[in-house]
Each structure stands twice: as C-alpha cells, then as structure tokens.
Amino acid sequence: MKALTILVTSALVSGIIMTSAQAMGRKGDPEFTHFVMKMTDANADGMVSKDEFMKMSAKMAEKEFMMMDMDGDGMVSDVEFKMHNR
C-alpha cells in the first residue's frame, strides 16, 4: 500500500508540475526546470533526495486536495473529483 501511495503521489506531483509548465508555456524551459529543482532541493546540494521529493510531493498533494475538496469537509466526492478534473 505504501508503494502505491508513493507511486500515486509521485504521478500526481509530476502531473501538477507538467500541467503548470504547460499552462505557463514553460514545458521544456531550462529556467523553469531549474526553478522546480531549486524549490525541491531543500538543502541546496544540487540533488533531490527521496526525502526532499516526498516532502514537496506531500505539500503539492495537500494543495491539490484542498482545491478538489470544494465544500471543505475533508473528503472528495465523486462530483467534486469530476468537477475538478474537467
């Protein structure tokens, strides 16, 4: 289950980053890639560790969940999910 959670979170974050890059017309832009790397690389060692990636993933997943949970009840209904993903 933990591996599935990591996989889904990773896919979600990758999708959010790529969707954001596309929406801003920055897909493939080296400056945008550098910006995302810098935001994820918490200790500024030039590499993203699994821990750094997971922390960034959790933050982004939390924000995405909050946007989907339109009524703020802490749960995402089928209707909310569908409306968010139109």
pTM beyond cutoff 0.85 = no
- pLDDT on residue 78: 92
Q: What is the per-residue pLDDT across 17-27, written as a single tens digit (0 to 9) for each?
A: 655 655 556 66
Note whether 65 and 76 are within 8 A (CB). yes
Ranges of the chain with pLDDT below 50: none
Q: Which two tokens stand for residue 65?
A: 């969940």
Helix ranges restricted to H, the chain: 2-23, 30-40, 50-68, 78-84
- Domain-wise residue ranges, the chain: 2-84
Rounded distance between C-alpha atoms, residue 76 and residue 82, angstroms: 10
Instruction: State what percent of residues in the chain have pLDDT above 90.
Output: 35
